[in-house]
């Protein structure tokens, strides 16, 4: 597993997101009520940054470009125009630091 250090927990306010550069992709990390979620930063419908989307209290995010909504827990596309899910990533918090875990290529 590869670990991406994101930021300290206090640096990501409730309802906010941050974009993180991974080795081969961009990942959006979200704080919803003190729970942290990570998924691919690019909307599966259009070329929009999910970290710039609208985070909802029900752990969903709305794409800022075409209003598609995604579940932060599963990555599922919840409404049109998106039909394809986004990849999600495990998140851990160790000593107040948020980490995203990536599977290493085989």
Quick: pLDDT tens for 17-71.
999 999 889 999 999 999 999 999 999 888 899 999 999 999 999 999 989 999 9
Q: Which residues of 47-73 are buried (b: 16+ CB within 10 A; e: fewer)?
A: ebbbbebebeeebbbbbbbeebbbbbe
Tell the CATH topology of 14-89.
Rieske Iron-sulfur Protein (2.102.10)
For the chain, domain boundaries:
14-89
Q: How large is the average pLDDT for residues 89-102?
A: 96
pLDDT at position 104 is: 62
Structure token pair of residue 38? 């990570």
Determine the Cα–Cα distance for residues 35 and 65; give it in Å rounded to an integer.
25
* pTM for the whole structure: 0.93
105 pLDDT higher than 60 = no
Residue positions counted in the chain: 106
Determine the Cα–Cα distance for residues 63 and 15; give it in Å rounded to an integer.
14
């Amino acid at each position: 597993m590869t670990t991406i250090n994101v930021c300290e927990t206090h640096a990501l306010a409730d309802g906010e997101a941050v974009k993180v550069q991974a080795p081969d992709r961009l990942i959006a990390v979200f704080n919803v009520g003190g729970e942290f979620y990570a998924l691919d930063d690019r909307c599966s419908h259009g070329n929009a940054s999910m970290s710039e989307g609208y985070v909802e209290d029900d752990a969903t995010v709305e794409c800022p470009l075409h209003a598609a909504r995604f579940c932060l827990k599963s990555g599922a596309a919840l409404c049109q125009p998106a039909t394809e899910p986004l990849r999600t990533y495990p998140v851990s918090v160790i000593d107040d630091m948020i980490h995203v875990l990536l599977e290493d290529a085989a």
